A and B are shown apart, each in its own frame.
Chain A
Amino acid sequence: MSERTAGSNPPRLGQLVRSQEGIVLSVAVLAFLLFSLLLPGFFTAGNLLALLRSVSILGILALGMALVVIARGIDVSMIATMVVSVSWAFVIAQSGYSLQFALLVGALFAFAAGILIGALIAFGEVPPIFATLAAGSVIYGLGRTFFFTLEMQNVPPGHDWFLLIGQSRIFGVPVTVVTFGVLCLFLHFLLSRTRFGWQTYAMGNNPGASKITGVPYRPMVVALYAASALVAYAAGLILASSTSAINARLFNSTMIYDILLVVVLGGVGLGGGHGKVRNVILGTIFVGILLNGMTIMNIDYTIQNLVKGVVLLLAIVIDSLVNPRDEQTSQQGDL
């Protein structure tokens, strides 16, 4: 069943153009050509790398989100997990433990948070949006109350190797972009070549059917949320490494909506069951082109937000036209 809906048969050109993916792709190509022609300095290797780099953290987070969304879930606690686990790791390192040990503790915290959220959804049968929304506040509250007082945590001094993750380049390509690429390949392999991936699509397509046909539904849900929490942690490390600090205030920012923007825009339907890694890449690059172009044109902050909002709205409208609500998705409830 994953064969058909995952679209592994190469779609015909006409189909592609009419699909959301096709529309976004053509708009992205159009924007790219337009900016290249009209904005001097847009189509340079340096700027294109800067563009990719500025969105690759968003892209990494979107990969984790996509994994959950494909299985008909959503994880809006990713930012909370990210900032709290990384901030806590830095606080531990600053209080005298080795950075390696601290990072391990951070990873374990993120992993535990993911498992708990997954268990809440799988065994507690709480709808994912509410479970993760609440869990996000709980994680952030725990962090601010018990783990750290200051929102801004600097990378502990004397660990230059850590800063290399976010600041160095491999053959001229920033490590951040390379990491995004590697994660894309890994996730693509996971989704298209492994039983884990096929079962993920099955869960998103029809949760009821997947349960009775032998998919270990609940353990799978737990595993998916644990995976997205670990992806969030990894993204947080790269983020902290590239600016030498992590700011817990990101929890209050619109970042989680930017992640959803990337996921929905690329064509991973919020109803679950379809979408591939290439959709996330497409969404990431389109948002990158948009943000980069607007920064170069020096467009006002309010207008930038307006443009982002309108694009997200259009994407959701197109999503619901292309993937109309059917009996199954309406039972699940709209997000």
Chain B
Amino acid sequence: MKLSRMMAGLAAACMVLIGSLAAQAQDKGLENPRSTAFYKALDGKKVVFLPLSMGFDLTEGWAAVMRQQAKRLHYSFEIRDPAWSTDAGTRALQSLITEKPDLIVVHNPDIQSYARLLAQAQAAGIKIVQINLESNTQTDSYVGANWTEIGEQAAQAVVDKCGTGKGVSTKVAIDTGVPTAASDVFQLYGIYDVLNKHPEIQVVSQQATEYNPEKARSIMDTVLQQHPDLCGAIGIWDNQDTGTASAIQQAGKASQVFLVTSGGGNKVGCDNVAKGLFNLYISYNVPLQGEILNAEIARLLLSDATAGSNKTLYFNPLTQITKDNVNQRNCWTLDDLK
């Protein structure tokens, strides 16, 4: 009896104690030890972005998104702008290896140039994330489009419009950018992977435009003179294909030639879809890539693993933009991101 009363008393005391503790917890909240560790681990880290060049929609977009997170999580974010020069980029990368930032975000001019330096940087303990243009060296992470997939989608769209009996002819032109860039080599593989299954499609022209809209315009002008019954065209980048599109439009063949291009989903590209200049615009969505980049940067900065020990990659989803879905969700302006 005595014992049971004592037990009951004890239990009651416990209840009161737990109750009061719980009440206290409800009042002041609990410290999340992981949150503190998260911010502390990121505070003061150094991240450097090495783009192809600043000053165009893709790199300005990614940089804006990355800068925001850097500000929020208090790590430093710097940009080394080689202004389209592979030489300057190589030098920047070499000096970064001695500077030893915690992480470098690299945008490769082609699949070969930075390959060895990226391996060296990782060996020196710098974590490397590649963005949208891959190098032959796989690093801690790659975030970006799967160019082969873009090529396949573009080629498939053209096959659907220009297969036997579907268009005015089965003639297709391809406008590439710079022959050694990842966007070119992998995309062309994807394009021909599909086209080889459709031998009726004739590629009548495959020319490099060096990303220059005026060159793209004059090439398409010549191709249309040569093949007035051209049915489809695949361009490799929206910035250059404004030229391709204006050649098609000025020849009065906008309803005949089905033009597919790809890009980051900038509003300028979207406007061209709305105007009917681009018939299909495959977007790799720069704001989304920026967010994934941010997640990867945080993940790698938090991780204790040494640079290069764990290699992953993520091909982000692509959006096919046509006249029907040009909208706020799919298109962005730089001011939206800032």
User: Are B212 and A242 in contact (CB-based, < 8 A)?
Assistant: no
Q: Does B84 contact A (CB under 8 A)?
A: yes
B211 at the interface (CB under 8 A from A): yes
Partner of B218, one of A46, A50, A245: A50
Known contacts A244-B246, A296-B226; is A151 also within 8 Å of B56 by CB?
yes
A57 to B54, CA, bound (A): 27
Distance between A10 CB and nearest chain B CB, rounded to angstroms: 35
Instruction: Mark the stretch among A119-127, A224-232, A246-254 that contacts chain B.
Output: A246-254
Number of A-B contacts (CB under 8 A): 88
Given contacts A150-B334, A243-B217, A296-B222, contact A253 B210 (CB under 8 A): yes
The yes or no answer to A19 lying at the interface (CB within 8 A) is: no
Select B56's contact among A41, A152, A244, A250, beta carbons within 8 Å. Answer: A152
Given A252-B83, A302-B179, A150 contacting B60 (CB threshold 8 A): yes
Chain A residues with CB under 8 A of B225: 41, 44, 46-47, 50
B250 touches A149 (CB 8 A): no
Interface range, B side: 35 or more
User: Cβ of B239 < 8 Å from any Cβ of A?
Assistant: yes
In the complex with contacts A245-B242, A247-B239, A301-B207, A152-B57 CB distance below 8 A: yes
Q: Are B214 and A242 in contact (CB under 8 A)?
A: yes
A276 at the interface (CB under 8 A from B): no
Q: B29 to chain A: which residues have CB within 8 Å? A: none
* A249-B211, A301-B179 known; A295+B222 contact, CB < 8 A: yes
Once A243-B243, A292-B222 are accepted as A-B contacts, the answer to whether A154 and B268 lie under 8 Å apart by CB is yes
Give Cα distance in the complex from A51 to B250, angstroms: 15
A243: B residues at CB distance < 8 A: 213-214, 217, 242-243, 246
Q: Secondary structure at chain A's binding surface: helix, strand, loop or mixed?
A: helix
Question: Are A295 and B55 in contact, with the CB atoms below 8 A?
Answer: no
Cα of A144 to Cα of B84 in the assembled complex, Å? 13
- Whether A2 sits at the interface, judged by CB under 8 Å, is no
B337 to chain A, nearest CB (A): 13
Interface centre among B210, B223, B239, by most A CB within 10 Å?
Answer: B210
- Count residues of chain A with CB under 8 A from any CB of chain B: 34
Whether B83 contacts A150 by the Cβ 8 Å rule is: no
Cα distance A291–B209 when bound, in Å?
13
Interface check B69, CB cutoff 8 A: no
A298 close to B (CB within 8 Å) = yes
Q: Is A298 a contact of B206 with CB atoms below 8 Å?
A: yes
Contacts of B206 in A (CB 8 A): 298
For residue B110, CB closer than 8 A to chain A, the reply is no
Q: Is B302 an interface residue (CB 8 A)?
A: no
Measured CB to CB, the closest approach of chain A to B203, in angstroms, equals: 9
Do B242 and A250 have beta carbons less than 8 Å apart? no
- The complex places the Cα of A292 from the Cα of B205 at a distance, in Å, of 13
Interface residues of B in 210-237 (CB under 8 A from A): 210-214, 217-219, 221-223, 225-226
Is B204 an interface residue, CB under 8 A from the partner? yes
Cβ of A163 to closest chain B Cβ, rounded Å: 9
Assembled-state Cα–Cα distance A24/B55 (Å): 40
Q: Is A66 located at the chain interface by the 8 A CB criterion?
A: no
Contacts of B211 in A (CB 8 A): 249
Closest-CB distance, A28 to chain B (whole angstroms): 18
Tell me if B219 and A295 are in contact (CB < 8 A).
yes
Query: Contact residues of A with B, CB < 8 Å?
Result: 41, 44, 46-47, 50-51, 53-54, 57, 144, 149-152, 154, 167, 239, 242-245, 247-250, 252-253, 291-292, 295-296, 298, 301-302
| A-B CB proximity, top 7 nearest | A54-B218, A301-B208, A47-B225, A151-B55, A243-B213, A50-B221, A41-B226
